A = this chain, B = another copy of it.
């Protein structure tokens, strides 16, 4: 590994999750699971119910801390991930946001540069402050050997929700705006880049020792748009965070990017690359060789629902192919609500056996 990553070695000695970022290959590899704090856990559902809603849960440090810790207590993952949501950023910026059971998030859509005046980048302090307080509590309450991952949504993915006003399969409104008025749309992206830097910086200062940038909707863009709206904004965030906190590794997760993930890694400078379920494990094991990047992934969350021999075989295959490489075991996407908790226990047991 080049000298730029040597600065990570101090923290890495304490928390095995961080070892791969210093170029080490651990056997068994570190493991955590996207959406490991979530609806599949009865104790999560109870705490959410106590909070009286999803957003309230995100903004109540005591309860957000509790749900973050729940899967650590159960499974002893090598990393906890701050419980929050990628839409906390538009919410803190002042865009009206609500979560409705069975419908997902709804925002008052922003579809023109003039409507950006509705956002208040200087007004994020109160809501971000709640999140930072959660991070600080977590760092106190977590076992010392457990790493704490902070995160944000990537500007492109967050923008798709802000412009569409909800989740969508084609992100049409954001893509249309970007084609019609790249400068205006670029202003929204700029706001998100700056706000995300402030948000991640605050999480690190409060105690996060790794960051992940979720770009759920990176996958369907033409290459020019992928460069403009996925790669470039992420690169700016990574550069700014590296300047402030060179010892904190950053994992990018450009879901659906496929072969373009390699380009994403080399251009953005992320220290880790999240691979989704569509990335063949042999490619995960080979494509990033020489890229000085930790690979993270990629069991199908639906195999975690069904469990059994099919899951055991796939886990063995992934571990086999990733042995000897800087690797973190994870899913290819978040845990789904119908996952039996005992399958998660079995998965962790399998990974802990190593190869």
A residues near B, CB below 8 A? 169, 172, 175-176, 179-180, 219-226, 256, 258-260, 276-278, 280-283, 300, 302-303, 305-306, 310, 314, 332, 336
A223 to B302, CA, bound (A): 14
Using A179-B302, A222-B332 as known contacts, list a sample of 11 further A-B pairs with CB atoms less than 8 Å apart, ordered by residue number in A: A172-B302, A179-B300, A179-B306, A220-B256, A220-B276, A220-B278, A223-B280, A226-B278, A256-B256, A258-B259, A259-B259
> With A256-B256, A259-B259, A278-B258 in contact, is A179–B310 under 8 Å at CB?
yes
A256 to B219, CA, bound (A): 8
A281 to B314, CA, bound (A): 33
Write out the residue numbers on chain B whose beta carbons fall within 8 Å of the beta carbon of A332: 222
Write out the residue numbers on chain B whose beta carbons fall within 8 Å of the beta carbon of A278: 219-223, 226, 256, 258, 260
Write out the residue numbers on chain B whose beta carbons fall within 8 Å of the beta carbon of A223: 278, 280-282
Other-chain contact of A169, B169, B300, B306 (Cβ < 8 Å): B169
Q: Are B221 and A277 in contact (CB under 8 A)?
A: yes
A314 to B220, CA, bound (A): 16
> With A179-B306, A222-B300, A306-B179 in contact, is A260–B277 under 8 Å at CB?
no
A280 to B172, CA, bound (A): 19
A306 to B180, CA, bound (A): 6
Q: Are A277 and B172 in contact (CB under 8 A)?
A: no
Q: How far is the CB of A96 from chain B (nearest CB, A)?
A: 24
A260 to B179, CA, bound (A): 28
Other-chain contact of A306, B176, B310, B336 (Cβ < 8 Å): B176
A277 to B223, CA, bound (A): 8
Q: List 21 A-B contacts (CB under 8 A).
A: A172-B302, A175-B302, A176-B306, A179-B300, A179-B302, A179-B303, A179-B306, A219-B256, A220-B256, A221-B277, A222-B280, A223-B278, A223-B281, A224-B314, A256-B256, A258-B258, A258-B259, A258-B278, A259-B259, A259-B283, A260-B278
A300 to B277, CA, bound (A): 25
Write out the residue numbers on chain B whose beta carbons fall within 8 Å of the beta carbon of A169: 169
Q: How far is the CB of A220 from chain B (nearest CB, A)?
A: 5
Q: Which 8 A-B pairs have the closest CB atoms?
A: A258-B258, A223-B280, A179-B306, A259-B259, A175-B302, A222-B277, A180-B306, A222-B300
